[in-house]
Amino acid sequence: MGLGGISMWQLLIILLIVVMVFGTKKLKSIGGDLGGALKSFRKAMDSDDKDDKDDGDEPERLEQGTPDAEFAEQKDKSESTGDSN
């Protein structure tokens, strides 16, 4: 028994069919492209982690008591109560 009930012989047969359908040259180019994509993804993730560590700054925090945005409900309430906020 192999992976999820698939035996080694079944995997070999599937591999043989894939090679016959796509050919070895196409599979080689697909493998190279996939490897390059994974390499660039890892590089981007590593550089992003380094950027986060290098900054060392805390995220900007708003002063306490000041809203970060005004919503329509807040505007409607302030207009009805006569607040000029």
**pLDDT greater at residue 79 or residue 8:** 8
Reported pTM: 0.42
What proportion of the chain, given as a percentage, has pLDDT over 90? Answer: 35
pLDDT at position 37: 95
- What is the distance between the alpha carbons of residues 72 and 67, in angstroms, rounded to a whole number? 13
Half-sphere exposure of 44 (CA within 13 A, CB side): 6
SS3 category, 51: helix
- What is the distance between the alpha carbons of residues 15 and 10, in angstroms, rounded to a whole number? 9
Note the pLDDT tens digit of each residue in 27-47. Answer: 899 999 999 999 999 999 888
